[in-house]
């Protein structure tokens, strides 16, 4: 991730780029990526999350959809199996998506946007919707530097 040189300047905060999961046949393949931008630049003691590219989910959005930041950073096939026990034990943070995903959401606490114990860099993040079989991860990614 840090190898090489890039002309892209850092924008501050953290970013998660989410891609459709293979177990999600209803995901629109024309959607290249969804972004979550985490920022602590506000004056309050909370973190704000900005959603980019989520307008394409208009037809898929459900009242019960949420974002989960897991404690691990593993994107292997086995880690994509989401169930109630996994969500309870392996989750660092979870929040529901507002009715308008192109908006900015204020979290109820300030996140550590770094690496390490409480930091979110390198952690797996999933977009979940509810289904008859339980929570279904429709997109996943890893949080990195923005």
Give which of 94, 35, 47 is closest to 66, Cα–Cα: 94
Region at 88 (left for phi over 0; alpha for psi -120 to 50; beta for the rest): alpha
Mean pLDDT of 14-22: 86
Cα–Cα separations (whole angstroms), residue 45 to 38, 108, 146? 13, 9, 20
**Is 7 a domain residue?**
no
Q: Give domain status of residue 2, yes or no.
A: no
pLDDT tens for 33-82 read 788 999 997 677 899 998 887 766 655 555 568 899 999 888 775 555 56
25 located within any domain: yes
Q: What is the CATH number of the domain that holds 122?
A: 2.60.40
Q: How many structural domains does the chain have? A: 1
Distance CA 123, CA 125 (A): 6
Is residue 96 in some structural domain? yes
Q: Decide if 131 is inside a domain.
A: yes
> Does residue 37 lie within any of the structural domains?
yes
Average per-residue pLDDT in the chain?
77
Residue-wise pLDDT tens digits, 119-146: 999 999 998 887 787 788 888 999 999 8
Q: Determine phi and psi for 104, rounding to 5 degrees.
A: -105, 135
* 132 vs 83 pLDDT, higher one: 132
Domain membership of residue 8 (yes or no) is no
Task: Report the predicted TM-score, pTM, of the whole model to 2 decimal places.
Answer: 0.79
pLDDT at 78: 52
Residue 9 has pLDDT above 50, yes or no: no
The backbone torsions φ and ψ at residue 99, rounded to the nearest 5 degrees and listed phi first, read: -60, -25
Cβ–Cβ contacts within 10 Å for residue 87, how many? 17
- pLDDT of 101 reads 58
pLDDT at 104 over 50: yes
Residue 3 lies in a domain: no
**Rounded CA gap, 94 and 86, in Å?**
12
Per the document, the length of the chain is 146
Instruction: Tell me the residue range of the domain where 44 lies.
Output: 14-145
Scored b (16 or more CB within 10 A) or e, 130-141 reads eeeeebbbbbbb
């Amino acid at each position: 991730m840090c190898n090489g040189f890039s002309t892209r300047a850092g924008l501050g905060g953290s970013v998660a780029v989410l891609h459709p999961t293979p177990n999600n046949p209803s995901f629109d393949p024309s959607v290249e990526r969804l972004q979550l931008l985490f920022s602590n630049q506000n004056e309050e003691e909370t973190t704000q999350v900005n959603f980019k590219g989520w307008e394409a989910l208009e037809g898929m959005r459900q009242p019960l959809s949420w974002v989960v930041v897991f404690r691990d950073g593993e994107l292997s096939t086995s880690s994509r199996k989401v169930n109630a026990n996994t969500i309870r034990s392996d989750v660092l943070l979870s929040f529901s998506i507002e009715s308008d995903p192109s908006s900015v959401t204020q979290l109820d606490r300030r996140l550590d946007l770094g690496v390490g114990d409480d930091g979110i860099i390198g952690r797996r993040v999933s977009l979940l919707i509810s289904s008859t079989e339980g929570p279904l991860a429709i997109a996943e990614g890893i949080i990195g530097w923005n």
